Amino acid sequence: MASSAQPSKAKPHNSLLINNLQTLQLKPEHLDELNFYPPFEGFPKKGMEFLKRLKKNNRREWFAKHKDEYEAHVKLPMQSLIVALQPHFARFASEYDFHPRRSLFRVYRDTRFSKDKTPYKTHVAAHAVLRGKPKGLGASGYYFHIEPGEVYVGAGIYMPEGEQLKKVRRAIADHSEEFLGIVQSARFKKIFGELEMKDDRLKRIPAGFEADHPMADWLRYKHYFAGVSLPESKCYKESFVNEVARVCDAATPLVKFLNRALGVGGR
């Protein structure tokens, strides 16, 4: 597993390390072969400026000319952030794979079923998935993204399949005290307030449960995900690592409850 550097005195700035890579004549695609990532010192403002420019110039020709900027100021800093988060995940979610190559979402959009045919995402995102579930299917997980104007961190299960929803709802009904102890805890409410997408719940209680079931409000959810939006300014600081870890740690009891409901991830 890759790890960030531990310089003995002054920390080299990311731009210096990037210049060194250029001096070694490494092509952008060679960054994926590295087992070393510079220390995370905050997401660079050059990276945010690139994402803003990409939004205005979301074309293949433009991106091809500026791909080196994406690699240096967006992709590489995000990979450094992932590496910096690894010790935190080892503490509260060691069963999750959080890797600088596997966890980073591709910049290319899947436009096959979308009216929007712009080819590139204008945010950069990463997720941590349960080991053995390389695409994040069949389990809950952790997610965060950075884009101009917003930073988002969250965890849980989003758009679960029908059978997964049935298992989660049954677990909520059968272990209501445990579930409520998580989503109504002081820590959870302080950080998240409530579960996401409350307005997207079913209008009626799902089949298999009585209309007056004491957990009716919770059983009507279609997604079981908790997240928080942070000011863009947060990501520019080295302490952003701790901020992401704090949010993910707070969501871990929900993640583990969902995984037990789905029969994955152990205790």
| H runs (alpha helix) in 1-154 | 14-23, 45-56, 60-70, 76-92
Residue in this structure with the two tokens 């091809």, named with its chain if needed? 64
pLDDT tens readout for residues 4-45: 333 333 344 445 445 544 444 445 555 555 567 899 999 999
pLDDT tens readout for residues 139-198: 899 999 999 999 999 999 999 999 999 999 999 999 999 999 999 999 999 999 999 999
Is the CB of residue 220 less than 8 Å from the CB of residue 204? yes
- On the question of pLDDT at 226 being above 50, the answer is yes
DSSP label of 161: -
Global pTM value: 0.85
Beta bridge partners of 226: 155
The residue type of 227 is G
